[in-house]
Amino acid sequence: MLRLFGLFACLFLFTACAPDAERAAPVPASGGKVDVVTGLMAAFNAHDADKMREFWHSDVTWIELSGQQASAVTSSAAQLHTELIAYFEAYPSVSSSLDNIAVNGNFVTAIERPVWEEAGERKSQASVVVYEIIDGKVKRFWYFPPQ
């Protein structure tokens, strides 16, 4: 009887510890909201601020988070467009990628990883970004402090 119990215990542990197909290979997020964010990132990587505008609401808000502070960097498509033109001029080599994209209702989260050259040195950082997608366009996005 003890051997039979031991066999069942081992079988239970083996089954409980076996990799779960859903956990082992998460399905990448996809769909309309993800398409908005990846389209925006493609336009960013092309340094096409005009094309990026197609993905924003006219009153888009960019919010930076730091500790207990949240501050709006921009609050209109026109202002964000101007900021990005200046950014692309200051960082002509910048490109960015999104990792770990997830969707929760109207929100798309990701880890954004920009890469750029500064004084001949390659630089990079990563930030959590959350996009709020309303009517197929970015209404607001929040950047957490870079790591």
The amino acid that residue 98 corresponds to is L
Answer yes or no: pTM beyond 0.85: no
- At 79-114, the pLDDT tens digits run 999 999 999 999 999 999 999 999 999 999 999 999
- At 33-83, the pLDDT tens digits run 999 999 999 999 999 999 999 999 999 999 999 999 999 999 999 999 999
d(CA 94, CA 75): 23
Locate tokens 């770990």: which residue? 100
What domains does the chain contain, in order, with CATH numbers? 29-143 (3.10.450.50)
Helix (H, G, I), strand (E, B) or coil at 121: strand
Say if residue 127's pLDDT is above 90: yes
